[in-house]
Amino acid sequence: MRILCIGDVVGSAGCQFLRSKLPALKRFHGVDLVICNGENSADGNGITPQSAQYLFDSGVDALTLGNHTFRRREVYELLDENPFIVRPANYPSKSTPGKGIINIDTGRRIVTLINLMGNLGVEDGLENAFECADRMLEQAESKIIIVDFHAETTSEKRAMGYYLDGRVSAMFGTHTHVQTSDAQVLPKGTGYITDVGMTGVIHSVLGVKTEIIINRLKTKLPERFEQAAGKCSMEAVLFEVDDKSGKCVTAESLRIE
């Protein structure tokens, strides 16, 4: 089974670029399942029902989220109702819309998708990500398990990768929007990349106009974020997973302009 995981889609520019490239990419690589991080798919940040539907209509099969999940209250009902969207599982489950794990029937195999958020430098008060991972794995309905770990530091992502090695099919990191060069299969058979990257405007700071971020860092004054415009790229990782064992065979990072 070939599973394509796409990095954080930023704003309408990222959504439109994904739509223009994804169908051909799926055909070329024989992709069976497309997972995409959509937490920044709405202009400004966050996700809306409209931006989520746009991504689904573009060929995405399942959406993962992150620390901007709850920026738009209009999406809360969708998080509860849509069976193909996951938010970080280590939010307080009884009080938080949505779910942290889903089991997707691809028609060929069931694939379990888990979303986790890191504890270092993202948000306070979340369940420990490693303990949450253990709890989520007990709920998995398939040997084929994919994890989106939405985290700030490379050290926490690397540690989680090795913690899950041999227990999940693949783990891809999101949140920092810069693709790392370490797509690999870990020793016990888990596909891994520290950060899959971003889908959005190339000449930007994480999808935002460069001058806004520079000015904010220089002056320490608040700035209203505006999405950048211009040439885009889509960054992703392609995992090939053995159907029977659930082990990853290959992991390949992709960058499409």
Cα 233 from chain centre: 16
CA 4 to CA 247: how far, in whole Å? 15
HSE at residue 148, side-chain half, CA atoms within 13 A, is: 36
Query: Rounded CA gap, 85 and 99, in Å?
Result: 8
Q: Measured in whole angstroms, how far is the alpha carbon of residue 209 from the centre of its chain? A: 22
Largest pairwise CA distance in the chain: 55
Any binding-site annotation on 177?
A: yes
CA-CA-CA-CA torsion sign (149, 70, 233, 18): positive
Rounded to an integer, what is the distance from CA 225 to the centroid of its chain?
21
150 is an annotated ligand-binding site residue: yes
Residue 67, annotated ligand binder?
Answer: yes
Of the residues 6, 52, 68, 228, which is catalytic? Answer: 68
The answer to whether 175 is a known ligand-binding residue is: yes
Q: Specify whether 68 is catalytic.
A: yes
115 belongs to an annotated ligand binding site: no
Residues comprising the binding site for Fe cation? 8, 39-40, 67, 150, 175, 177
Active site residues: 68
Residues comprising the binding site? 8, 39-40, 67, 150, 175, 177
